[in-house]
Structure 1
């Protein structure tokens, strides 16, 4: 099974595109600036206990690795 949730590689502003595959199409959930943002997006999309799946490559593909870079806009 391919990962259902994709966390994109960090962009220049530090955000990562988060999407989920549903019914054969990719739905954009939002741009995450932290792991907590990813959790919030997944909860809002109906996934119960999203923290449980973040380490599972059957569920989540971390493009560019599970690394967070500070946003250049954060003070």
Structure 2
């Protein structure tokens, strides 16, 4: 089984989520706009180009530990 290209980790105590693309942590996102910027920096400018995103600890609507399912 191959590792997903894009992984967004569960929210940390500070309300950020680590974003990994192709095995490299690109930074911490405070919201979806940050995730989009990390994907852009990784060369994925167009949403149609995005590989499936693996959301760990809740989907794109979850940005605090209290929001986690």
TM-score between the two structures when normalised by the length of structure 1: 0.69
Match of 1:50 among 47, 56, 67: 47
Gaps of 5+ in 2: 65-69
Asked whether the equivalents of residues 19 and 28 of structure 1 are also in contact (C-alpha less than 8 Å), the reply is yes
User: Aligned partners of 2:48, 2:62: CA distance in 1, in Å?
Assistant: 16
Q: Deviations over 1:34-71 (max 9, x none)?
A: 00100011001100213774xxxx6210001113336x
- TM-aligned CA distance change 1:31 to 1:46, over 3 Å: same
Asked whether the equivalents of residues 7 and 19 of structure 1 are also in contact (C-alpha less than 8 Å), the reply is yes
Which position in structure 2 is the counterpart of 1:68?
62
Which position in structure 1 is the counterpart of 2:67?
none
Runs of 4+ in 1 over 4 A off after TM superposition: none
Determine which structure has more spread, i.e. the larger CA radius of gyration: 1
User: Aligned partners of 2:3, 2:24: CA distance in 1, in Å?
Assistant: 15
TM-score between the two structures when normalised by the length of structure 2: 0.74
Gaps of 5+ in 1: 71-75
Match of 1:30 among 19, 27, 30: 27
Q: CA RMSD in A?
A: 2.1
